[in-house]
Amino acid sequence: MNWYLEVLKKYAVFSGRARRKEYWMFLLFSVLIAIGIGIIEGIIGSPGIIGLLYSFAVLIPSLAVSVRRLHDTDRSGWWLLVAFVPFIGGLVLLVFMLLDSTPGQNSFGANPKEGFA
């Protein structure tokens, strides 16, 4: 849960780098929370307003951590736009998100893995 909260603390920070773990743990917790909200709204018969509000609340942090993750692989955040290319775009972006960090310093800052096992 700490990884999720760390991303929220950096709500609109698009500079710097984000480790794979930070990105994927944020994504995991976001999906789990969204599923939980969906289940609760289904039980109470809500039209989905809470889920929509949650989606809007995490939109900026999701974009920010995605840009920082791309920075960690020494790619510009503009690569997020490749997701709009039909069929292949999402796959290319997935591969970028799965790649390991660029070792040492890159054009976006120091490696966030340094000092960690």
The yes-or-no verdict on residue 1 having pLDDT over 80 is no
- On whether residue 92 sits in a domain, the answer given is yes
Number of domains in the chain: 1
Cβ of 93: how many Cβ atoms within 10 Å? 20
**For 16-70, what is each residue's pLDDT tens digit?**
999 999 999 999 999 999 999 999 999 999 898 999 999 999 999 999 999 999 9
- On whether residue 30 sits in a domain, the answer given is yes
Structural domain containing residue 48:
2-98
Helices 20-44 and 2-9: crossing angle, nearest 10°? 100
pTM over 0.85: yes
- On whether residue 107 sits in a domain, the answer given is no
- On whether residue 63 sits in a domain, the answer given is yes
